[in-house]
């Protein structure tokens, strides 16, 4: 068994800390967006997404505690870039908030899944559980597809917003992969450019599913 603080333990702890910070921030943002939403339909979807994010934060927090780590110390190195991302990508209304979840979350989730591609099975399982759909993906897809089909002007606005979100999400991913030793170590010798190419291809498939072009 590896001693506490060894490289084999440090990598999962860094990843769990990163994901815990991501999930807690997502909870805060979605809860705030739900409070500002004008319709009950959007309030319910955003509140459900917030609840799912917090449940997954608790999973990661408990894993860190179980590994003998302070979860808040593990999260601390990632707080600044994640907060900065949300500041730069602040939605103007509920439809932009829903689009942000639909666009940015899967891009970043794909990045984190790539980060654990060669990790041990236990770490991969925890990460996949923390990134699993909270049960609202189909509702979110239908809501955005219907909005795009019913209002071409809204569809155009959301398409532009989605393009901005892609840039912001990839910038955050790049900053984490190369600008933060705690996160950069997660990717080892991975070809970041090729990895981002795969992530963008999957994003474009998701955009076609809701009839939006970014």
For the chain, the structural domain boundaries read 7-209
Mean pLDDT for back-to-back runs of 10 residues, the chain (214 residues): 42 86 94 94 92 94 94 92 91 94 88 78 86 80 91 94 90 67 57 80 90 74
pLDDT attached to residue 58: 96
Task: Give how far the C-alpha of residue 183 lies from the chain's centroid of Cα atoms, to the nearest Å.
Answer: 15
Q: Residue for token digits 């009950």?
A: 40
Q: Tokens at residue 31, please?
A: 């809860």
**Neighbour tally for 187: CB within 10 Å:** 19
pLDDT attached to residue 74: 94
Fold classification of 7-209 (topology level): Ferritin (1.20.1260)
pLDDT attached to residue 151: 94
Length of the chain equals 214
């Amino acid at each position: 068994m590896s001693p506490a603080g060894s490289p084999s333990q440090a990598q999962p702890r860094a990843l769990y800390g990163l994901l815990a910070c991501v999930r807690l921030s997502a909870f805060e943002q979605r809860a705030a967006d739900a409070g500002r939403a004008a319709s009950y339909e959007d309030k319910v979807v955003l509140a459900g997404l917030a609840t799912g994010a917090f449940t997954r934060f608790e999973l990661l927090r408990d894993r860190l505690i179980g590994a003998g780590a302070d979860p808040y110390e593990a999260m601390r190195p990632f707080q600044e870039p994640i907060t900065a991302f949300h500041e730069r990508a602040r939605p103007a209304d509920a439809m932009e908030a829903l689009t942000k979840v639909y666009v940015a979350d899967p891009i970043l989730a794909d990045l984190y899944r790539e980060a654990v591609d060669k990790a041990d099975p236990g770490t991969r399982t925890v990460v996949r559980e923390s990134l699993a759909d909270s049960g609202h993906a189909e509702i979110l897809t239908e809501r955005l597809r219907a909005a795009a089909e019913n209002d071409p002007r809204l569809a155009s606005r959301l398409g532009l917003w989605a393009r901005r979100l892609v840039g912001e999400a990839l910038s955050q991913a790049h900053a984490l992969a190369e600008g933060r030793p705690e996160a950069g170590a997660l990717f080892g010798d991975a070809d970041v450019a090729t990895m981002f190419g795969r992530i963008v291809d999957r994003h474009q498939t998701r955009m076609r599913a809701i009839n939006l072009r970014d």
